[in-house]
Homo-oligomer: A and B are copies of this chain.
Amino acid sequence: MAGPRGEYRKSAERRSQILEAAFAVFARSGYTGSSVNEIARAVGMTQTGVLHHFSGGKMALLQAVLQQRDVRAELLLAGRHGRDFLAGLVEISRLQAGQRGVVQLYTLLAAEATDPEHPARAYFTERFRHIADAVTTAFAEEAAAGGLREGVDPRRAALSTLATTEGLELLWLDGLDVDMAEDIRCHISGFLRTPLVVPGPAPSPAGPAPSTAGAS
């Protein structure tokens, strides 16, 4: 049962193990404080072995780790438009609440990458632009459908929604009384003629009471 197919599966498994180790090392030490060597040791390989799977080195490992998060979000939002897309953002926030490690790693890397010299700077700037553009489109679609409140500009609403999402993650990680999904639902609802309704699990009983801030 060896041969090319078996080799391929083995290689995919190896990549997956390396990514898991990279995630753990980045989460502990950030990007700047991590090395390929440290990731290799964590997975019981040599540095050369790791570079065989990720020839782009540490930066390629970082991108692969971040893409795991992105792919899930992209899948959830694929084919959705306007109000339905905006509801998807709330669903993503719900998922984040179950992935503290991912959110923490992402927050740390995004902060590191605000340094213009940081190798992941372009990645984060592009990522934020990409999300801001997609959310702008969703608000514009909702505007065309007559669902936006008087005077709301889709671009400002999108940037504000993105900023609030990032900020809520930070406050949530620091133990403040925020409910990421419910708070972002209220935030988006503030731009809409009728509040956003997102079916799914009820807000966590540990969370604060639902806010109606700006929602009506």
Contact B152 A214 (CB under 8 A): yes
Q: How far is the CA of A186 from the CA of B156 in the complex (A)?
A: 9
Q: Does A199 contact B (CB under 8 A)?
A: no
Q: Does A176 contact B (CB under 8 A)?
A: yes
If the complex has contacts A32-B29, A163-B167, are A114 and B107 also in contact, measured as CB distance less than 8 A?
Answer: yes
Q: Does A92 contact B (CB under 8 A)?
A: no
Binary flags per residue of A137-173, CB closer than 8 Å to B gives 1, else 0 = 0000000000001111101110110111111101101
Q: Does A213 contact B (CB under 8 A)?
A: yes
A contact face: mostly helix, strand, loop, or mixed: helix
Contact A176 B128 (CB under 8 A): yes
**Which residues of B are found within 8 Å of A151, using beta-carbon distances?**
212-213, 215-216
Shortest Cβ distance from A90 into chain B, in angstroms?
14
The contact sample of 17 A-B pairs, CB cut-off 8 A, is A30-B32, A104-B114, A110-B170, A111-B112, A113-B174, A125-B176, A152-B213, A155-B208, A156-B186, A156-B213, A159-B171, A159-B176, A160-B186, A163-B166, A163-B167, A165-B167, A191-B213
Contact B213 A160 (CB under 8 A): yes
Who on chain B is nearest to A126 by CB? B174
Who on chain B is nearest to A180 by CB? B163
If the complex has contacts A32-B33, A151-B216, are A162 and B157 also in contact, measured as CB distance less than 8 A?
Answer: no
Q: How far is the CA of A129 from the CA of B177 in the complex (A)?
A: 9
Contact A104 B108 (CB under 8 A): no
Q: How far is the CA of A121 from the CA of B208 in the complex (A)?
A: 22
Who on chain B is nearest to A155 by CB? B208
Binary flags per residue of A78-116, CB closer than 8 Å to B gives 1, else 0 = 000000000000000000000000001001101111110
Contact B159 A163 (CB under 8 A): no
If the complex has contacts A33-B33, A166-B167, are A160 and B174 also in contact, measured as CB distance less than 8 A?
Answer: no
Q: How far is the CA of A71 from the CA of B89 in the complex (A)?
A: 37
Who on chain B is nearest to A121 by CB? B174
**Which residues of B are found within 8 Å of A156, using beta-carbon distances?**
183, 186, 208, 211-213
**Which residues of B are found within 8 Å of A114, using beta-carbon distances?**
104, 107-108, 170, 173-174
